[in-house]
């Protein structure tokens, strides 16, 4: 038996595969289209070095190839990370988000249903389709609102979150209608190794060290809950192992911060560990720019369910996690170079400079 991970060359997926191979004996098949966000260097530690790892370049929209892979490898679980994940890109051009996040999830569900339907009864029961989703499907919170809970209404505000919400509804429907043993996890903002510098934390580290502006949208008072990616991977492993089919679990880092707090924390670490020439603080590179369209003001996650039912809690505080993350980026400048090539520069040019 093996598990199939989609989107495993991206940020969270690659952390998950590395974590899986370090913790479990079961082989993993990584199925990734290798869009601009997929980076094979994330998996350099296991490619051709670990018997339990194999990679297939494939689009989740490709029903025939996915069915073939599921059968060939005797897959007993699918963990679906594959998605277009960047809110700003979804505002510029929603098309890819509709095609991958909605249509792609639908095609993957169809392939999973085909494979699952042909399994012996006891294997059908044990089978899992684990769908990785986001807290953004719940919309935006006011300052005094309680954190998101699993039963909250969906109120997505961006093309990205609307496409993720649609995919969640499809996953839920495949469980309700066909009995496919599916589980959804909705998590908050991840950070840690291998995140492309199009997202806030790596953008801040990369631009600070490059001497470029650290871009803050609007007033920088938007709040996100920050989850260290390795804590997220551990939670997903636990949900895959012990989670109940048909359920949703919220996963969060219990670390609500404003964007400005996050950026100042990074600048303070860099000032201490890698002081710039001239004794200036990196915080002097902060530049406030036009706000993101439809910018959600606050996300927060109530983790009571996963804590009580599965005994999970985040191990990292934000302070410890951000220190490790900055240290990782400083020690892995070769990786950063692989992630900031022509397509990254084109995005920066299109999005920030124009
Ligand atoms: P990412 O953009 O870093 O990686 C996405 C990966 O999916 C890439 O390797 C890409 O090549 C692959 N992919 C894209 N379209 C594909 C397709 N059609 N077929 C096969 N592969 C395809 O994303 P991430 O930040 O690692 O996010 C992973 C998942 O977690 C996504 O579903 C995202 O919505 C969700 N999520 C992310 C965060 C976060 O903070 N990053 C938080 C909550 C939820
Ligand atoms: O909440 C979970 C979501 O977190 C995931 O579903 C998404 O896939 C993931 O990309 C992330 O979405 P955000 O939009 O919250 O992440 P991002 O890093 O793009 O932005 C975080 C905050 O920082 C947000 O309020 C916008 C702000 N920001 C971001 C960038 C890239 C800036 O102020 N300047 C920037 O240049």
Distance CA 69, CA 115 (A): 10
Cα–ligand 1 centroid distance for 232 (angstroms): 14
Q: What H or E segment, with its residue span, contains residue 123? A: helix 121-126
Cα–ligand 1 centroid distance for 14 (angstroms): 10
Residues in the chain: 354
224 lines ligand 2 (CB under 6 A): yes
**To 10 degrees, the CA torsion angle through 68, 71, 74, 75?**
60
Query: Distances from the Cα of 299 to the Cαs of 84, 134, 137, 308, in angstroms?
Result: 20, 10, 10, 22
188 lines ligand 2 (CB under 6 A): yes
Secondary-structure class of domain 2-196+226-256+296-316 per CATH: alpha beta
1 exposure class (CB count in 10 Å sphere: 0-12, 13-18, 19+): exposed
Give residue-wise pLDDT tens across range 138-194: 999 999 999 999 999 999 999 999 999 999 999 999 999 999 999 999 999 999 999
Question: Which atom of ligand 1 is least distant from the CA of 136?
Answer: 43
Query: Distances from the Cα of 325 to the Cαs of 11, 201, 269, 270, 317, in angstroms?
Result: 13, 9, 10, 11, 12
First to last CA, the chain: 50
Q: Hey, which bits of 51-203 come out as E strands?
A: 53-57, 75-80, 128-134, 182-187, 189-191
Cα–ligand 1 centroid distance for 12 (angstroms): 7
132 lines ligand 2 (CB under 6 A): no
Q: 17-20: list long-range contacts, CB under 8 Å, 24+ apart.
A: 17/43, 17/46, 17/53, 18/43, 18/45, 18/46, 19/230, 19/233, 19/234, 19/237, 20/233, 20/237
Residue 38 φ/ψ, nearest 5 degrees = -90, 130
Query: How are the residues of the chain apportioned to helix, strand and coil, as percentages rounded to the nearest 5?
Result: 50, 15, 35
Catalytic residue ranges: 135-136, 160
Q: Hey, which bits of 37-127 come out as E strands?
A: 53-57, 75-80
Distance CA 33, CA 100 (A): 10
Q: Hey, which bits of the chain come out as E strands?
A: 2-6, 28-32, 53-57, 75-80, 128-134, 182-187, 189-191, 214-217, 223-228, 248-251, 256-258, 286-289
Whether the CB-CB separation of 231 and 194 falls below 8 Å is answered with: no
Give residue-wise pLDDT tens across range 58-105: 999 999 999 999 999 999 999 999 999 999 999 999 999 999 999 999
Question: Which atom of ligand 1 is least distant from the CA of 135?
Answer: 43
Whether the CB-CB separation of 20 and 237 falls below 8 Å is answered with: yes
Overall pTM surpassing 0.95 (yes/no): yes
* Helix/strand/coil for 239: helix
Atom 1 of ligand 1, residue of closest alpha carbon: 10
Block residue for tokens 């599965």: 310
Tens-of-pLDDT digits for all 354 residues of the chain?
Answer: 999 999 999 999 999 999 999 999 999 999 999 999 999 999 999 999 999 999 999 999 999 999 999 999 999 999 999 999 999 999 999 999 999 999 999 999 999 999 999 999 999 999 999 999 999 999 999 999 999 999 999 999 999 999 999 999 999 999 999 999 999 999 999 999 999 999 999 999 999 999 999 999 999 999 999 999 999 999 999 999 999 999 999 999 999 999 999 999 999 999 999 998 888 999 999 999 999 999 999 999 999 999 999 999 999 999 999 999 999 999 999 999 999 999 999 999 999 987
**Ligand whose nearest atom lies closest to the CA of 207:** 2
Residue 103 φ/ψ, nearest 5 degrees = -65, -40
Whether the CB-CB separation of 6 and 81 falls below 8 Å is answered with: yes
Distance CA 300, CA 146 (A): 8
* Structure tokens belonging to residue 87: 């809110």
60 lines ligand 1 (CB under 6 A): yes
Cα–ligand 1 centroid distance for 82 (angstroms): 5
């Amino acid at each position: 038996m093996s598990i199939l991970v989609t989107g495993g060359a991206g940020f969270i997926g690659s952390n998950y595969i590395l974590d899986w191979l370090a913790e479990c004996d079961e082989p993993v098949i990584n199925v990734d289209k290798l869009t601009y966000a997929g980076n094979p260097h994330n998996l350099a530690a296991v490619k051709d070095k670990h018997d339990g790892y194999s990679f297939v370049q494939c689009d989740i929209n490709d029903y025939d190839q996915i069915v073939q892979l599921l059968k060939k490898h005797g897959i007993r679980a699918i963990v679906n990370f594959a998605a277009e994940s960047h809110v700003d890109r979804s505002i510029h051009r929603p098309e890819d988000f509709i095609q991958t996040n909605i249509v792609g999830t639908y095609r993957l569900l169809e392939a999973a249903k085909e494979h699952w339907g042909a399994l012996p009864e006891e294997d059908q029961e044990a089978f899992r389709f684990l769908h990785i989703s986001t807290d953004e499907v719940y919309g935006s919170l006011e300052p005094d609102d309680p954190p998101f809970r699993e039963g909250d209404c969906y109120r997505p505000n961006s093309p990205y979150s609307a496409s993720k919400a649609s995919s969640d509804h499809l996953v839920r429907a495949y469980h309700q209608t066909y009995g496919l043993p599916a589980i959804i996890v909705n998590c908050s903002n991840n950070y840690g190794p291998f995140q492309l510098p199009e997202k806030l934390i790596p953008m801040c580290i990369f631009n600070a060290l490059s001497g470029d502006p650290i871009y803050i949208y609007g007033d920088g008072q938007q709040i996100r809950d920050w989850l260290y990616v390795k804590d997220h991977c551990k939670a997903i492993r636990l949900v895959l192992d012990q989670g109940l089919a048909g359920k949703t679990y919220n996963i969060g880092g219990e670390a609500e911060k404003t964007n400005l707090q996050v950026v100042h924390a990074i600048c303070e670490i860099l000032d201490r560990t890698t002081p710039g020439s001239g004794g200036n603080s990196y915080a002097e590179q902060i530049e406030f720019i036009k706000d993101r369209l439809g910018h959600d003001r606050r996300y927060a996650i109530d983790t009571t369910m996963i804590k009580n039912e599965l005994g999970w809690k985040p191990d990292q505080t934000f302070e410890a996690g951000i220190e490790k993350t900055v240290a990782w980026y400083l020690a892995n400048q070769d990786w950063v170079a692989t992630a900031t090539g022509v397509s990254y520069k084109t995005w920066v040019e299109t999005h920030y400079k124009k």
